[in-house]
Structures are given as structure tokens and as C-alpha cells.
Structure 1
Amino acid sequence: MIVPVVIAGGSGTRLWPLSRTHYPKQFLPLTGEQSLLQQTLLRLKGLEHDPAIIICNEAHRFLTAEQVRLSEIPHFPIILEPEGRNTAPAIALAAFKALETNPDATLLVMPADHDIGELEPFLNAITLATESAGEGKLVTFGIEPTSAHTGYGYIQKGQPLERGFTAKQFVEKPDELTAKGYVESDQFVWNSGIFMFKAQVYLDTLKRFNHNIFEACFNAMQKQQDDLDFTRVDASAFLACPSDSIDYAIMEPLTAQQNDAVVMIPMAAKWSDVGSFDALWQLLDKDDEQNAIGGDVIAIDTQGSLLLSENKLLATVGVKDVVVVQTKDAVLIADKNNTQAIKQVVAQLEQKSRVEMHQHREVYRPWGKFDAIDEGERFLVKRITVNPGARLSMQMHHHRAEHWVVVSGTAKVKIDNKVQYVTENQSVYIPITAVHSLENPGKTALELIEVQSGSYLDESDIIRFEDDYGRE
């Protein structure tokens, strides 16, 4: 039986300002109503499979858990990586987990942030791959290239087989001239990043070519602990693991030594890694002027552009082939044919320690979300949404007082052991150092405005005493 493995640890910064390190692209509904992660999980409904193994970064655990819950896909507890170490270690953790319950497990490894335009060819390719994986082969899926793309890895076709081809070699992202030669030769396909193999075969191969990764992941899983909906691996063991992709750690050295060990199955499923705004533009519906538009947009004499507005009117006049993305706290304007250079913007944000690199103005928490709508010297205003039945931690602050005004719903507020209920148009004041908590006892979302005032208004000024979500 297939064990799906969904790797949800990427940061997706090439799609900044939509995608940021604390809320990356796999959690965004970029190509439909569901997020890319949810779409990846929902594809599994066309397959007979065992519970899925999902791997994500510690920082994204509650986002992942909520989106997985909404997808209603059976799954193991979500494996948390203390820190990202690329795909080879992540898959190793999944392989060890799968072998705990099934010594013959076959893994279907899928990134959580890709788009598959046609489901039936995807499922057909998976069915073909199952037979090859059952014979002990490592299987990868190749996409017929439509351009000399320099942002993808390539796989060279080897000998034709009854099912696909042998993989002659794996090549990382080439320069433009090399990529053009690959496409013209008709001997190369794009590397989709989707794989299938038996868990034990993967681990044996990893141990052969990269013993340090194997050893670190083995040690990390020996001291795993379940925590709510998650599995925590041993942090010190995993942090000692080298960071490497499956392509570098296994596929490249394996194909160099053994030309029939890896099978490449073609997949004509309209695949995209949604890795740039140009790729996103290609996936979205367009108007008569070939503009892909989202939000409140007026486009005059505008052609071939991607125009996305989150919460303001966006107007363009007399432009062509541009990307304009407006979020609550940032605006990006770029040449659609040069969006790879957005990484330079992200690099400057990181160099300047700008918060906009990591998080949006609207920040999600396991209990709901908040939107920092205004701030100045010694004050910060937030709009807070608390999910039905959810509760914030019991906490206190050394440097700020808070004033809560309920907009809709009912809040159960506890301040220094005194409980009170605050309803619409009512307010409550929390002094500095008061121990307090906020709960939504109702069946609809609780909305309130929080006004913080004080000398230090950072999120680090939170001392937690109790927390339903295990946060320190």
C-alpha cells in the first residue's frame, strides 16, 4: 500500500510579498479556493493509500495542522523538523516512521507547494510507478519541458523501458544556453520533485551514499515524542544532520554508478512548482488582454500582466508584462520577465532585519489570528479574531497594558482570577503585570479591538503560565 509523504517545509520567498517565511506559499490559496497544501492532500482521494505522513517546520505546526484537519485526509501525527534540512533528511524521517507499522511500505513523496492541472494523468503515472517501485527501483517523475527554464532541475532520459525510461543523470538548475540545448535535444525532462520508492530501499541507498544524514535521522527518530497532533524528533540529533536535497544526496551519485537503479516515469499532468510570479500568471485565468487579476483592480490599456490586490483599489494605465502585488503592508512592482530577481529584494529585507520578510500584517495563531492595523510610539492597535471554543494562553506582560473592545461575539475574560463576560460594544482593561486570559465560549468567531500601550510592545513581552497548545 502507498504511504503518501507530503513535505511542507519550504519558505517560498520568490513569491514575496504574498509568501513569507512565517506564512509560505504552501499555505496560500494561489490557484484555487484551497491552499496548495490542501490541494496536494485532496489529490490523494483518487488513490488507495495508507495514512499520510506530513512533515513541516516547527514554526508552521499549527498552520499545517489546521489545513490538514480541513482536508479530512487520514494521517500520522505531523512530524516537526526543529529546523529545515532540505528534502533528503525529511524523507528519511518519513521512511523511518512508515517502517514502524509497515516493513514493506512504499512512499509517494510530494512537495506541498506544487500545482497539478490534470488529475487523471497524475494518477495514471502513480499507478505505473507503483510497479517499478515494487521491483526495488527508485522512481522519479519527469515533466516534458515547454521552455528552456533555468529554475528547474533536469533529468536525462536513459534506456526506454516498458514503463518510462531509466534516468541517465540528474542535473541541477542549468544556465540559459545549457537549458536550451537540453530542450532542443529532446533527451531531457524537468525534475518534478515527486518520487516513489520503498522506504527501506530509500534508507539503504541513503546509508550507502550519505551515511551522516542516515545516522542523524535514525538517532532523531529513536527519541521521538508525540505532542498533541505532532511527532517531535530529537532536536540535538536532527540539528547535527547535514542539509541536502534528495537529488544531491542520492540521485546524482546513484545514477553515476548504476544506470538502471532509477526509473523516470513521464507525467503529462500540467505540473507547475508555482515558483515565480510568471509561473503563477500562467496558471491563472486571464481576461481578453491576457491579464490575470485578483481583488479590486481597474486595468486600462494594460496587457499580459499579473495584478493582485489584497485590500485596496489597484489601478494600472498603459503598462505591459508587469507584476503588481499589493498586500496590507507592502507593494511589489516588477517586470514579469524578471521576477527571479525578487530574491534580491528578500536579501535586502533580511539584511535590514525587516519584519516584512518573515510575516504579514495579519498573523495566524492556533487560536485564530490578529491584524496589526495601526501603531505609533508607545501604542499598537490590533484586530483580533478568536475561533469558537478557542482560548489564548494565561499570560502577563511587564511593559504594556491592554484595552479590549468587543466588536462581535462574547469574550470570557479572566484577570487575576476574576472571571467576567464581555459582549458587543463593551470593553475591559488589563493593567501591566495582571495575569489574564481570553476565551471565546461561543459558536461564532469572536472579534475584538485590542489597544496596547506601554514602553515595549513586542510579542516577546509575553510570560505564559498556561497554554492549550504547548507553547513555552
Structure 2
Amino acid sequence: MIVPVILSGGAGTRLWPVSREGQPKPFMLMPDGESLLAKTYRRAADLIVDGGEIVTVTNRDYYFQSKDHFHAAKTRPRRPHFILEPVGRNTAPAVAIAALTLAQSHGDDVVMVVMPADHLICDGAGFTASVKHAQALALEGYLVTFGVPPTAPETGFGYIETGSELDAQGAARVARFVEKPDASTAQTYLDSGKFLWNSGMFCFTAGTFIEELERYAPQLLEQVRQCVEQSPAQEVPTLVQRELDTKTFSEMPDISIDYALMEVSQRVAVIPATFDWSDIGSWKAMSQLVEPDAHNNRATHNALFIDSHNNYVQSDGRMVATVGLDNLIVIDTDDALLVAHADRAQDVRLVVKQLKDNNHDAYRLHRTVSRPWGTFTVLEEGPRFKIKRIVVKPGASLSLQMHHHRSEHWIVVKGMAKVTNGDGARLVNSDQSTYIAAGHKHRLENPGVIELVMIEVQSGEYLGEDDIVRFEDQYGRVV
């Protein structure tokens, strides 16, 4: 039995301003309009038989978005399994909790395929073939990692040095893992023919992984056992959800699976990937997904190049024109614009660091923010006012809530709203409005079968998103 375990999270800081803390890299749409996470779900579904499951380990803040992307992928498994982390603790705790959980439910021989959610693989058949190869080695007791044959002296990836061969298909023992090298060292690795890029994907049985943790990281394994004991799963016919205990999980070390186990175990094997692979680690990598023009300019949506060469432009909608430019990256979103030299693509993360240090919301949120019930978009704001466009999914409901410092005026522009205001509730149709005074309990619901779209005008002394007291919430957000 194969169970894909998808690790979904990470800030993707080198892909700002599209990837942000509140909407990270796995949720980014590729040029074909599908997210990296949805592509990963479909790739994972091809590995399992009908009735199997896919496990997603992600932060609890990304749970509802992850479910939406799972359903958008239209995968065969009908009961997804979500393990929800209260904080980030790197890959070793995440994989260890998945291994212990799966061993309990399926036995030690269940084969786990660990897949980051932010990688792009287009050759699904080649990926499936490589997993079958890895599965055979996993059942022999190996911890298998997937190595990508290098095509250039890449300094942004870790490398794996291959040791003695294990079979005629190219599998080998791992001699060592090495960190991201400098340019000359990377060229040496490429020339030797003995090194592969470390893809961060793995395959092993849950039992083997737990045995090796017991040998090399016993304290981590004990912490994981305590956390799982304190985090009972909630099972319904349509999904399994395990929200990890905050106290026990937060006490775990922030450590990768490579450091905790793969670099020290004597049972590690590597197989060369027989599929295309990209970690989409920068805008330079993203640009390679778009066909160039005669001057090697690449663009998504609206762009005009005049006397320009080797540029990449991505725009959410506005026309972007370049004149006399060479080797630049231009990323235009609703609320932020990035202009960078292509040779400095890896340094975009420094922008995010500076924004975070300055406590600027642009590192964290887009102008349009996803919520379990839909989205809201800040259209305009100033002293004592803020204007939002709110979209509520059919059948969805915001929490029963109250604000201390702001009042709200709601105008329905599409669909029908059910509005609770104080002790009463009424329906508000298109072209109608209602007023919510500060201090009043209120709730917004969409009782219809089409999206509810409304404009909200806030006014008051303080308009922050933290001025909210929830009394009831179907998404478990009452605080």
C-alpha cells in the first residue's frame, strides 16, 4: 500500500510579491491556471488505487485553502487526511508524525511517498515509474531519496553524492549529502558525474522510518509519540482531520529530515529521477515555464517589449511596457511591484525580510485575502474608513461576531444575504443595504446557490482585522 504524504507550507520568499505568508507558494497559480498544490494532489492520486488516501501535513491556517485546492484537483481519493500544525517545525517532525499515524492505521509496511507541495513535475508517467522503483527498495528496508541528474552547476540546490550501486536501474547507496555549494564546487560536482540534486522527496515504509528514528533521533520520536497521543483524529465519511496539540508540538526541534535522519542513517539509498523536476525556487525558474519571443522576452498576460531583451514580466492585469531594458524581472500585483535584475533573483527574499522587519503587511497578505467562507478585497482605505469587496461562497457563513471600534455599512451587489443584526435576522437582496453599529452582534450568511458579492464600508477610530470578537463560528475560529 502506498500513501502519498504531501508537505505543504513555507513562505516562498523568493517568489514575493505573489507568494506571501498568508498565501504561500503551494497556492500559486502556474501559467496554465492551476496551483502547484493541485498539481501535486493529482500526481499523488496517480500513485494509489481507488479507496486510498492522501495525507497533507500543513499549517492549520492553510487548512481551508488546502481543502479547496484538493477538491479543485478532482482526485480519486474521496477522504483526504489532513494533519494540521499549530506552528512550523520543519520537515522531520512533520514526516515523523505522518509515519506514526500511518503505522497505527495501516501497519508498519505501509509505503510513504513524501512529496513537497511546491515542486513542479510535468512527466507524471515518469514520476510514477520512479516511485515504483523506490517502492521496491523501500520494501527491502531502505530510506529512499530521489536525486535529480544535474544539468548545470546550480548553487541553489543541495547535492547527493552516490556510492555503491544497488541495482541495474541506477539506484545507489548515498555516500553523503552536501549543502548548497559555491559555483566552482558545483562545477566540480557536475563534472564528476557522481552527484545528483537533492529533490527533497522520499520513499520508505513507516516501520523503517520509525526504527531509524528510534536509533538516531529517539528524543524526537518520543516527542512525536506524546504529540500524537494528545492529538486525536476527527473522522467523518468525507475526511480525516488531526489538529496537533499546540504545547507538545511547539516543544519539538525545528529540524529537517535530512539533518535528523537521512545524513546519519546507514540505510539511505538514492534513485536518479526519470522525470522532469523544478522546485520553482525563484522568478528566474518561473520564467522558464513561459515561451520566449524572438528577443528572449517572456510574459504572462499584458506586456509590451520595445528594444528590450531577456526580460520576464508577470502582471495580474495591468499592461506593463518596457523600453530599452535587458535581463530584468518585473512582477506586478494589485498592491506591490517587484523590479529586479535577473541575476539577483535569489535575493528577492531580502525584500521580504525588510518588509517583515518594518512590520509591513505586504510580506504577509495580498489585497485579496482568502477566508474559509470566501474572500475579501481591500479597495480603498484612509483615516477612519475602509472599503472592502466581500465574496461569500454559496451556503457559507461568517462568524457571529462583534466589533468594538467600527461600524459597517453593507451593500449587496450580487446574490442574497441573510444578515443577523442584534436579536433579529433578515434577507437583503441585490441593490439593498443594511447598517451594523459598533458593539452589535452580527453575522453574514449566503443562503443562495450563487456567490454573494457585497461592498462593505467600515468607519471608526480603529479598523484593524484584530478588532473582532467571535461568539460562534462553524470553522472553529472562536477565541
TM tier, smaller = over 0.9
**1:265 CA drift (Å):** 0.8
Report the Cα distance in structure 1 between the residues aligned to 2:196 and 2:139, rounded to whole angstroms.
24
Contact 2:295 2:310 in 1 (8 A): yes
Asked if 2 retains the 8 angstrom alpha-carbon contact of 1:56 and 1:78, the reply is yes
Are 2:117 and 1:108 aligned? no
Cα distance between partner residues in 1 of 2:389 and 2:353: 30
- Are the equivalent residues in 1 in contact too, given 2:7–2:58 (CA < 8 A)? yes
1:79 aligns with 2:83: yes
- Which residue, out of 165, 171, 176, partners 1:169? 176
- Among 367, 375, 378, the alignment partner of 1:369 is 375
Match of 2:389 among 379, 383, 386: 383
> Match for residue 17 of structure 1?
17
Q: How is 1:232-243 mapped onto 2 (pairs within 5 angstroms)? A: 232-243=243-254
Q: Which residue identity lines up with residue 60 of structure 1 in the other structure?
A: Y
Task: Kindly indicate whether residue 194 of structure 2 is the aligned counterpart of residue 187 of structure 1.
Answer: yes
Structure 2 unaligned blocks of 5 or more: none
- 8 A Cα contact 1:212 1:241, kept in partner: no
Counterpart of 2:144 (choices 128, 135, 139) is 139
Q: How far did residue 217 of structure 1 move?
A: 1.2
Please give the per-residue CA displacement for 1:34-58, whole angstroms capped at 9, x wherever unaligned: 2101100101233234301110012
Aligned-pair CA distance for 1:32:
2.6
Q: CA offset at residue 296 of structure 1?
A: 2.0
> Higher mean Cα deviation, 152-161 or 373-382?
152-161
| Alpha-carbon distance, 1:76 to partner | 4.2
Instruction: Give the aligned residue type for 1:93.
Output: I
The corresponding residue for 1:97 is 101
Post-superposition Cα deviations, 1:82-123, rounded to whole Å, max 9, x if no partner, equal: 111111110001101111221121100000000002122111
Matched, 1:293 2:293: no
Distance 1:405 1:296 in 2: 32
State whether structure 2 residue 427 is matched by structure 1 residue 425.
Answer: no
Q: TM-score, normalization: structure 2?
A: 0.95
Choose the corresponding residue for 2:319, options 313, 324, 327: 313
**RMSD between aligned residues:** 1.4
CA shift for structure 1 position 289: 2.6
Counting only pairs closer than 5 Å after superposition, residues 397-412 of structure 1 correspond to structure 2 as: 397-412=403-418
Any gaps of 5 or more consecutive residues in structure 1? none
**Could you say if the C-alpha distance between residues 76 and 221 of structure 1 is closer, same or farther in structure 2, counting changes exceeding 3 Å?**
farther
1:211, CA displacement in angstroms? 2.1
Does structure 2 conserve the Cα–Cα contact (< 8 Å) formed by 1:292 and 1:306? Answer: yes
Amino acid at match of 2:30: L
Match for 1:223 among 218, 230, 241? 230
> Which has the larger displacement, 301-310 or 459-468?
301-310
Letter in 1 for 2:163: G
Query: Partner amino acid for 1:464?
Result: R
2:344 aligned partner, one-letter code: N
Q: Quick one: which amino acid aligns to residue 375 of structure 2? A: K
Which amino acid letter does the alignment assign opposite residue 111 of structure 1? P
| One-letter amino acid matched to 2:249 | F
How far has the Cα of 1:405 moved from its partner? 0.9
Task: Give the SS at the match of 2:343.
Answer: helix
Aligned length: 467
Deviation at 1:31, TM superposition (A): 4.3
Where does residue 458 of structure 2 map in the other structure? 452
Q: TM-score, normalised by structure 1?
A: 0.96
Aligned residue for 1:202?
209
* Aligned counterparts of 1:239 and 1:45: Cα–Cα separation in 2: 31
Amino acid aligned to 1:275: G
* 1:77/1:226 contact within 8 Å kept: no
Asked if the contact 1:386/1:445 (under 8 Å) is kept, the reply is: yes
| Amino acid in the other structure paired with 1:236 | K
CA displacement, residues 345-378 of structure 1 (integer Å, 9 cap, x when unaligned) = 1111111011000111110000000000100000
Question: Residue by residue, what CA displacement relative to the aligned partner does 1:157-205 show, whole Å, maximum 9, x if unpaired?
Answer: 1112214111111112112221111111111010111100001111111
After superposition, the C-alpha distances for 1:53-80 in whole angstroms (9 at most, x for unaligned) are: 1100122111112212222432443101
Name which of 127, 132, 140 aligns with 2:132: 127
Alignment of 1:242-391 (within 5 A): 242-254=253-265, 258=266, 261-391=267-397
CA distance in 2 between counterparts of 1:15 and 1:400 reads 35
Aligned-residue sequence identity (percent) comes to 42
Structure 1 residue identity aligned to 2:67: A
Residue 139 of structure 2 aligns to which amino acid in structure 1?
G
Equivalent AA in structure 2 for residue 411 of structure 1: A
| Deviation string, structure 1 residues 427-452 (Cα, Å, up to 9, x no partner) | 11111111111111111111111000
Equivalent-residue separation in structure 1 for 2:31 and 2:172 (angstroms): 31
Letter in 1 for 2:343: N
